[in-house]
Amino acid sequence: MTFPSLGAANVKPGDVEAIAAAPELAAQGFGLRALGSIRRFVADPKSLMTRSWLGRLFGASPVARASQVLYRDAAAELAVADSVSSLGREWGVVHAIAVSADAAADSSRSRDDVSHVVAGPNGVFAVTTVNARGETVWVASSTFVHDGVRMPHLRDAEYNALRLSQQLYEVSGVRVEVVPVVVVANPRGLIINRAPRRVFVLAPGEVVGWVRSQPAALVEKEFTAITDAARALRARDAASSEAADASLDRFRAIRKSVGSARRARIAWVTLALVSGWALLVVVVLFHGAWL
């Protein structure tokens, strides 16, 4: 079985316009790169700033002001990754698979990445995270419009799922239909005018419930073999796989540090409010005693 190429010859003018407006896509070719914002944030030495002990004490954020937008994009991607990872022990989740063998072998080539492969009793799902970056996304049938620009994400997700189905069968010997899912992270609004026929478009908070609601499709032996096959496919691009894992671990640590800083700021604000209220009560009581 062969699948159609998604090379530059098949990209429509509107798609090229969108890619030109997004350097992180152009750098990887016409495909989306899994965990792209997380990788970029972690790789940029200017994304974090050095805090003094006083800054850490009072809860200064470690994220540089100029990197706040990229941090929010990366946090949205992490939320999707953590969401699918919370499905349960019976589910296998493999992050960041390049379904194009050429891209896996040559990092300079265009990439078509699946953000997360999820395999379990309810089926196998190829989850592609599209980061809306705070803009509106409009979907109607086979059309995906991001901030007024038509993008090829639905078509790519469907073709990637077809190719992944074939590759998983070749490795595991288990025939399975991989279901393409596009998760729109961090949108200002997600408007689904008409649902696509073969690709499911979801918000991050809908993923776990939707996956669990699907009818039973596989027995444990089958989805275990599929998960092992997905890991084997990921291992074709060992350097990228290791970089993805390292980026996820590093960003989770950064996210934890940002959370700690936020809690410190909240604690200081709460202390200030409580102290002010206590001081006001003392003043009122003291003033009343002199009347």
Q: Give the tokens for residue 283.
A: 């003043």
Residue 268 counted as domain residue: no
Provide the CB-side half-sphere exposure for 130 (13 A, CA): 28
pLDDT digits (tens, 9 = 90+) for 9-40: 333 333 333 433 443 433 333 356 788 889 99
Q: Nearest CA to 268 among 55, 61, 62, 58?
A: 58
What is 91-122 written as a DSSP string?
-EEEEEEE--HHHHH-TTS---EEEEEEEETT
Mean of the per-residue pLDDT values for the chain?
83
What is 179-229 written as a DSSP string?
EEEEEEES-SEEEEEE--SS-EEE-GGGHHHHHHHSPP---HHHHHHHHHH
Residue 170 counted as domain residue: yes
Q: Give the tokens for residue 59.
A: 């809860």
What is the pTM assigned to this prediction? 0.78
Q: Is the pLDDT of residue 92 over 90?
A: yes
Residue 280 counted as domain residue: no
pLDDT of residue 67: 93
Q: Give the tokens for residue 197.
A: 């026929």
Q: Could you give the angle at which helices 68-85 and 36-43 cross, rounded to 10 degrees?
A: 130
Range of 223's domain? Answer: 8-259
Percentage of the chain surpassing pLDDT 70?
Answer: 83
How many structural domains are present in the chain? 1
Burial class (CB in 10 A: 0-12, 13-18, 19+), 263: exposed
Residue 278 counted as domain residue: no
Residue 138 counted as domain residue: yes
Residue 270 counted as domain residue: no
Among 20-24, 49-53, 94-98, 157-161, the range scoring the smallest mean pLDDT is: 20-24
Residue 178 counted as domain residue: yes
218-228 mean pLDDT: 94
Residue 264 counted as domain residue: no
d(CA 151, CA 145): 6
145-148: long-range contacts at Cβ-Cβ below 8 A with a sequence spacing of 24 or more? 146/18
